[in-house]
Amino acid sequence: MSSISDTEIAAPSVSARSRYLQLALIVIAAGAIYPILYLRQSYQTTMLEVLKLTNTELGVLYSILGTSFLVGYLPSGWLADRVQPRILILVSMVGTGLLGLWYATLPGYSSLLVIYCGFGVTTGLTFWAATLKQVNLIAGANEQGRFFGILDGGRGLVEALLASVAIALFVFTTETRGAGLAMGFRDVVLLYAVFCIVVGIAYFAVSQPVAVEKGARKREGNLLADIKTLLRIPEVWLVAAIIFCGYHVFLATYSFSAYLQEGGFGISAAMAGVIVTIKLWLRPVGGIGGGLLGDRFGKTAILLLSFIVAAASLVAMIALPGIGSTVLFVGLVLLVGLITYTIRGLYWAILDDCHVPANITGLAIGIISLVGYAPDTYLPLVNGYLSDRYPGIAGYQFYFGYIAAICVLGAIATLVLMARLKKKG
């Protein structure tokens, strides 16, 4: 395990070609590793049927995943300050792929609990902070928006390509071959699992040992002192609050497939999957476009506008099933998806404005993630409970109403951060 030393090169002195190559490799890995965790985004109804799960049990699986993330975020930041990213990424990709091969056997509920807990370790503990810190370090001060936008938008492009292949495979297996939903879902899981393993090995083979540090120094402080330093920075808490609110919107998009099917518009499971896949293709547009707009007009300004538009769009989605406009309804689904990816492309970019010491950036990412991604632990349970307690579209309407309220809180947190950063000059 190699550690970051005080002799490593600051980001601005590394060639643009080298920095963008590193970014491209990270983007491919990030785009390959997460889709298998969140297949419910396009296949929720199918998962419930072939895995013999209730909505509540599905919520528990994702709560287990979120809890694993939560437990791993802080040590993930600690690892990111000490271990080569290429090693962490290899372990993460291969580990996730192997768990995926087990998942493809369509095991029982108890085994699924273990698998989802394992996913939390391989994508949270060993992968998460390492990728974010590396992107933060290879981007110059005036490039944070575009680099994080490319990270989220680029991985979204990889995810969209994979999702397009997966939905085509699913339709071929279930409708052309008539092999049934179970076989179709198994083929999709296998596709993602094998791809993860291949990408992980390829990344490790192609990448070089790199650790780019801006103004780096030897790590002489202890963990407790570093944590205290970070907790005394108000902007760190505001970034955590913004990510907390933005992540609610992102998780809400996982329920779009089921909402499309149950909204009274006669949309089939396959068509809902196609619409959600189209939404995934908007991720590069939202992520990269949002990052570029953020660098030009201000990251917090674009975030504020995005939260407001997301809240208004979710309220409209709640009302539309009663009105009956299928085209407008699908348009709002795609708009919320676009805005979600804009938020995701920007909310980590604002960390660079908060003057966090470079040698504890990984730890800062861990602490912020601990707060910002806390919805992973309980929001799936809320979704599952509301879906079972209020069958049909009513449960989803209550759920989206809650998310819209959280968007308003996100806008308020962004306004406060804007004021603090402006005051500091």
Cα distances (angstroms) measured from residue 137 to each of 10, 207, 335, 361:
8, 17, 32, 9
Does residue 202 belong to any structural domain of this protein? Answer: yes
Q: What count of Cα atoms within 13 Å lies in the side-chain half-sphere of residue 181?
A: 12
pLDDT of residue 208: 64
Does residue 8 belong to any structural domain of this protein? Answer: no
Does residue 169 belong to any structural domain of this protein? Answer: yes
Mean pLDDT, consecutive 10-residue segments, the chain of 425 residues?
Answer: 37 65 84 89 86 89 85 81 80 95 95 94 86 77 80 83 90 84 93 93 74 45 79 90 94 82 71 80 84 87 95 89 74 91 86 78 83 85 85 86 96 94 79
Domain span including residue 341: 13-207+232-424
Does residue 215 belong to any structural domain of this protein? Answer: no
What would the two tokens of residue 134 be? 């590396």
Rounded to whole angstroms, how far apart are CA atoms 267 and 269? 7
Check which CATH number belongs to the domain holding 340 and give it: 1.20.1250.20
Number of compact structural domains in the chain: 1
Does residue 177 belong to any structural domain of this protein? Answer: yes
Burial class (CB within 10 angstroms; exposed 0-12, middle 13-18, buried 19+) of 416: middle
pLDDT of residue 324: 62
Does residue 216 belong to any structural domain of this protein? Answer: no
Rounded to whole angstroms, how far apart are CA atoms 195 and 107? 21
pLDDT of residue 411: 96
Does residue 25 belong to any structural domain of this protein? Answer: yes
Does residue 306 belong to any structural domain of this protein? Answer: yes
pLDDT of residue 83: 79
Closest to 417 (Cα-Cα) out of 283, 289, 307, 319: 307
pLDDT of residue 15: 67
Query: Other CB atoms closer than 10 Å to residue 176's CB: what's the count?
Result: 9
